Structure 1
């Protein structure tokens, strides 16, 4: 089934579910510092390790506010360390502070700190701040500089999707899949991009294959339920929805999708 050009709101709701890539790994950089008392250096190293551990645990548990605080302290200790820079920006993004992440990365780049991971994070921060055109520029630049990680290609695909350049978006997702086969994040984004561009049947096929694999997350399954509903298959949508939601919530979602199909403006708020 193709999405009707008369129903741009369907494309809008599907496009809104495409997510950005995750923060990639980074390289470490260091600067020489004046000689210090060995015990003072050991103490400082312990402090940095403790802050780093606390930042990692906070991020993994979704406590982005605390992670931001820890990474900010680390950054203040070494403002040229890519791990600290990327960690701070990434958690600002994860904490829905895209504008702050972009402003911070503006500062970093203007100070002359650069490299493939830094440039990729700059593009992701711009994307998080609603600047997909700038995001494309810097994500593509990161790839030119040597970043060949799947998160960068996935983020590039998301940026192209936001610009409604679906052909380039899908090329980027395919490259990401080549680097990380069967990755549910990438498959989810590729499928939603295909759905937005009118290839709903192909999008459903991709998510159906992904949904039966171990480790599939609820978001992917509920996106598949939504696509089934938009395709008119309420039975399949209900069955997929029940895997994670109560019958009441499934019914509510199906009603919401039907309102979209009927063109009810209230359902688009």
Structure 2
């Protein structure tokens, strides 16, 4: 297969393989130093704070706090983030939309609301919310990165990359930003640049499995299946890796599928970076 042909096919295939909604949004719940170790829900059951790194524990804890004081902005933001963490997006949006109306100038509430909208596939609604949050907290790189995720979800990859590069100005070499930037480049069919960016992310030990798996995907889409398999097996069982590689290989060998996908493509984004 010629390199130009492979790059064209890879560009068309990427949106089917990768969901932008799984890009890191960087939110986590935190109790802070003054938070109590437990709370009591309206039924009289004690809800221990426990290990709030556990998404279910965090949702239970902040749910109890929210039942006691639903008007508190910090509690609502943490509860919304925790609900998003366990995939309860409708409930998260209900909590956070109400909190955003009640606290329209609270950056934490707007951040949590914007990220939940992105996770729910409502990127168009999320962008103005995240822009407002960033105007209230301009030093927070996570808010700029989240805007990039939203633009990627809308297929606006050039604008997304502008946001990621803006986030890197606030947090140079941050592996989460670099991972998202690398995937955005891949979604736009810029595979060599995507590979370089993901390798840069992996130079930081905090990059983790997401950067490795995205890099393995990009390598596969360039036809380097053996290298991709070796990298992917650092995190996944060999049988799963082999099945994934075989699937990508077989899909890339189907010209009829590529022709059908080209017909379904939206018009090209012609804006200048």
User: TM-score, normalised to structure 2's length?
Assistant: 0.78
Consecutive unaligned residues of structure 2, counting only runs of 5 or more, are 41-46, 258-273
In the alignment, structure 1 residue 220 sits paired with structure 2 residue 219: no
Q: 1:24 to 1:214 in 2, by over 3 A?
A: closer
Provide the rounded CA distance (Å) in 1 between the counterparts of 2:111 and 2:64: 22
In the alignment, structure 1 residue 256 sits paired with structure 2 residue 234: no
> 1:73 aligns to what SS in structure 2?
helix
Provide the rounded CA distance (Å) in 2 between the counterparts of 1:24 and 1:180: 18
Residue 151 of structure 2 is matched in structure 1 by 160
Q: 1:180 to 1:245 in 2, by over 3 A?
A: same
Aligned residue pairs, count: 246
Of the three residues 9, 19, 22, the one matched with 2:23 is 19
Of the three residues 105, 112, 123, the one matched with 1:132 is 123
Residue by residue over 1:199-253, the C-alpha shift from the partner in whole angstroms, topping out at 9 and shown as x without a partner, is 1110001112222432331221111111100011123212212323343332212
Larger RCO, structure (CA 8 Å, separation 6 or more): 1
Q: 1:17 to 1:140 in 2, by over 3 A?
A: closer
Residue 32 of structure 1 is matched in structure 2 by none
Provide the rounded CA distance (Å) in 2 between the counterparts of 1:25 and 1:74: 13
Q: Point out the more displaced range, 171-180 or 7-16.
A: 7-16
In the alignment, structure 1 residue 95 sits paired with structure 2 residue 86: yes
Residue 185 of structure 1 is matched in structure 2 by 176
User: TM-score, normalised to structure 1's length?
Assistant: 0.79
- The offset of 1:7, in angstroms, is 5.7
What is the RMSD of the two structures over their aligned residues, measured on CA atoms? 3.0
Q: 1:209 to 1:216 in 2, by over 3 A?
A: same
Q: Is the 8 A contact 1:11 1:195 kept in 2?
A: no
Q: 1:216 to 1:95 in 2, by over 3 A?
A: same
Residues 104-119 of structure 1 correspond to what in structure 2 (within 5 A)? 104-112=95-103, 114-119=105-110
Residue 38 of structure 2 is matched in structure 1 by 50
Residue 35 of structure 1 is matched in structure 2 by none
Q: 1:154 to 1:112 in 2, by over 3 A?
A: closer
Consecutive unaligned residues of structure 1, counting only runs of 5 or more, are 29-44
- The offset of 1:49, in angstroms, is 3.5
